[in-house]
Chain A
Amino acid sequence: MMENAPVLILLAPLTGALLIPLLGFRFGRAVTMASLVASLFFGLSSLAQSLSAGPVHYHLAGWSPPWGIEIVVDPLSGVVASLVSAMAVLAAMYSGPFLAGWTRRRAGTFYSVYCLLVSGLVGIVITGDLFNLYVFLEISSLSAYALLSTGGSRSIVAVFRYLLIGTVAASFYLLGVGYLYAMTGTLNMADMSARLPNDDVAVLVVAASFIVIGLAIKAALFPLHGWLPDAYTYAPGPVVGFIAAVMAKVSAYALYRILYYVFDPVGGPRQPIELLGWASVIAVVAGSLMALAQKDVQRMLAYSSIGQMGYIMLGIAIGSPLALTGAVLHVINHAVMKGCLFMAVNGVQWKVGVFRVREFAGMAKRLPWTMGAFTVAALSMVGLPPTAGFFSKYYLALAAIESGHLSFLFALVLSSLLGAVYFFRVIEYAYLKTNDEPIEADAGTEVRELDASMLVPVVALAALVLLLGIFNQTVVTMLVVPGLPS
Chain B
Amino acid sequence: MTIEALSSVNYWLAALLFVIGLYGILAPPNLVRKLMGMNIMQTAVIVFFITLGYKDDATPPIARHGDHEPVVRNYINPLPHTLMLTAIVVSVSTTGVALALLIRIHRRFGTLSEPELLEKLK
Contact segment of A18-26, A56-64, A158-166, A188-196: A158-166
**Interface size bracket, B side:** 20 to 34
The range of chain A's interface size is 20 to 34
| Residue of B with least CB distance to A158 | B121
Q: List 28 A-B contacts (CB under 8 A).
A: A131-B86, A135-B86, A135-B90, A142-B93, A142-B94, A145-B97, A145-B101, A149-B101, A153-B109, A156-B101, A156-B104, A156-B108, A157-B105, A157-B117, A160-B105, A163-B97, A163-B101, A164-B34, A167-B94, A170-B90, A171-B44, A174-B87, A175-B18, A178-B48, A181-B52, A182-B52, A183-B1, A200-B1
Instruction: Tell me which of B41, B102, B108 contacts A167 (CB under 8 A).
Output: B41
Tell me the complex Cα distance, A45–B98, Å: 38
**Is B20 among interface residues, defined by CB-CB distance under 8 A?**
no
Number of A-B contacts (CB under 8 A): 76
Residue numbers of B with Cβ under 8 A of A are 1-2, 18, 21-22, 25, 31, 34-35, 38, 41-42, 44-45, 48-49, 52, 80, 83, 86-87, 90, 93-94, 97-98, 101-102, 104-105, 108-109, 117, 121
Cα separation A66 to B34 with both chains bound (whole Å): 38
With A149-B104, A157-B121 in contact, do A167 and B42 touch (Cβ < 8 Å)? Answer: yes
A159: B residues at CB distance < 8 A: 101
User: What residues on B are CB-neighbors of A174 within 8 Å?
Assistant: 45, 49, 87
From A153, A167, A168, A178, name the one whose CB has the most chain B CB atoms within 10 angstroms: A167
Least Cβ–Cβ distance between A196 and chain B, in angstroms: 14
- Complex CA gap A182/B14 in Å reads 15
Known: A142-B93, A145-B97, A164-B34. A171 touches B104 (CB 8 A): no
A146–B25 CB distance below 8 A: no
**Complex CA–CA separation, A203 to B5 (angstroms):** 12
A171 touches B94 (CB 8 A): no
**Majority-rule SS of B interface residues:** helix
- Supplied contacts A138-B94, A160-B98, A168-B38, 7 more A-B pairs, CB within 8 Å: A159-B101, A163-B97, A163-B101, A167-B38, A170-B90, A178-B52, A203-B2
A105 is an interface residue with CB less than 8 A from chain B = no
Choose among B35, B41, B86, B97 the residue that contacts A168 (Cβ–Cβ < 8 A).
B41
* The 5 residue pairs across chains A and B that have the minimum distance between CB atoms: A153-B108, A138-B90, A160-B101, A174-B45, A156-B104
Please determine whether B45 and A178 come into contact, CB atoms closer than 8 angstroms. yes
Tell me the minimal C-beta distance from B108 to chain A in angstroms. Answer: 5
| Chain A residues within an 8 Å CB radius of B52 | 178, 181-182
CB closest chain-B residue, reference A137: B90
Cβ–Cβ < 8 Å partners of A183 in chain B: 1
- Considering the complex, give the chain A residue whose CB is closest to the CB of B43: A171
Residues from chain B with a CB closer than 8 A to the CB of A156 are 101, 104-105, 108
A163 near B86 with CB under 8 A, answer no
In the assembled complex, the CB of B38 is this many whole angstroms from the nearest CB of chain A, namely 5
Chain B, residue nearest A163 (CB): B98
Any B CB within 8 A of the CB of A154: yes
Residues of A near B108 (CB, < 8 A) are 153, 156
